Amino acid sequence: MHVVVVGLSHRTAPVEMREKAALSDRATRTLVRGLMEHADIVEAVALSTCNRTEIYAATTDPAAAEEVMVQALVERTNISRNELDCARYQERDDRAATQLFRVTSSLDSMVLGESEIQGQVLAAWELAMEEGASGPVMNQLFRQAIEVGKRVRTNTRISRGPSSVPAVAVGIASRAFPDLDHRRVLVIGAGQMAEAVLTSLVDQGVGEVRVVNRTVSTARMLASRFGGEGFGFDRLVEELAEADIVISSTDAPHTILDRSVLEQALGAEGGRRVMIVDISVPRDVDADVARIPGVELHDIDDLERVVEANLNGRRQEALLGEHIVVEAVAGFVDWRAGLAAAPAIRDLREWAERVRRDEVDRLAGNWDSLSETDRERIDALTRALVNKLLHEPTVRARAALGQTDGMRHIESLRHLFGLEASADSGQHATN
């Protein structure tokens, strides 16, 4: 069984392209269900964050599976085939495992060491399990990825300093307004990212907090936890008119702040200084907003420049994290090798046991003078002989799977001992 990943990220695509490939929870479920209808996909997990969209799958035909996954992204998102072909990457087996382990460890994040990614990977895996799309291979892969992520965070100082997109967003705002304790901040959205933003804002000593969300009760509940007030979108223009800093983090599929809304709040001439940080993908704020006098707009790609300033102390720690990932990938490769070799080894031992038993039974009629104790000794002797004869082939078969041409050795083993028929019958029995 092979493992493949197809995706795009902040390393290969700008935010304008990533937002086209973003998946909501509902779209993710639909995509995963669709993938499982293809004979070339045995298991599948889809991961979509503000910085990446990736599909991981278990398959017996990697090339066919990759094409199915690419087509699924084109059909289920707003990205075109040409755009995806220009930005996508795809990896197989140990390289696919490396990709997921690095992602979960935040070694591949825009903000090196950010803390949200582990929860996002876990949520993606849990969704796939709910849909019945994650089986033995994906479960092992993602379980190990979560463990690796925890090890990297525990055994390195990769998360030292601002380590999340929300924290960096608040950092941008606080540098623009050093007197943050006298400023009013408006957070649009009430999800996990919005909560993380508010946590960072309170840590920075923000003066006033307002939350605007589609559901008023959710906005009030979140805002009250941080000493603020929450409102529905009917108060958006009024709150924008009083805000110094606006941080938008919703899962809306389209922009919610365009130039006309801001001009209505600030006046067509603008002039009052307002900092807007858009950390949503797809983006919440239309780029044309930045043309209003006094308005300073940052989107999620802009955060990368700020991140660079924080990376110096983390790069050395990231090297330690990379070593942890390499060790974990070797463990996954060994597990996958054992998984691939197990059916052939099982069939070989079952074949040998049938031969041993048939020969003992055939000769038993000529041994009427043997006692029951003698028969038990002969049975034990022949079992031990078979085990000794099969020990070296079994060890070598498992070791072979770690080599580039490992499957060729397994196929040769089946051919030499005539095990093809049993393998075919076993495969049909499970289909």
DSSP letters of 328-361?
A: HHHHHHHHHHHHHHHHHHHHHHHHHHHHHHHHHH
Beta bridge partners of 3: 58
**Catalytic annotation on 50?**
yes
User: Going by C-beta distance under 8 Å and a sequence separation of 6 or more, which residues neighbour residue 426?
Assistant: 343, 347
The torsion defined by the Cα of 141, 143, 145 and 149, in degrees rounded to 10, comes to 180
**DSSP assignment, residue 298?**
E
User: Going by C-beta distance under 8 Å and a sequence separation of 6 or more, which residues neighbour residue 178?
Assistant: none
Beta bridge partners of 8: 53
Q: How far is CA 238 from CA 78, 262, 263, 264, in A?
A: 33, 10, 12, 9
Tell me how far apart the alpha carbons of residues 203 and 191 are, in angstroms, rounded to a whole number: 19
Tell me how far apart the alpha carbons of residues 174 and 184 are, in angstroms, rounded to a whole number: 12
Please answer whether residues 201 and 211 qualify as being in contact, where contact means their C-beta atoms are separated by less than 8 angstroms. Answer: no
Burial class for 254, CB neighbours closer than 10 Å (0-12, 13-18, 19+): exposed
Please answer whether residues 43 and 137 qualify as being in contact, where contact means their C-beta atoms are separated by less than 8 angstroms. Answer: yes
Burial readout 105-141 (b: 16 or more C-beta within 10 A, e: otherwise): bbbbbbbbbbbbbbebbbebbebbeebebbeebbbbb
Which entry of 50, 100, 117, 256 is annotated as an active-site residue?
A: 50
DSSP letters of 392-411?
A: HHHHHHHHHTTSTTHHHHHH
Tell me how far apart the alpha carbons of residues 342 and 354 are, in angstroms, rounded to a whole number: 18
* Cis preceding linkage at 282, omega within 30: yes
Active site amino acids: 50
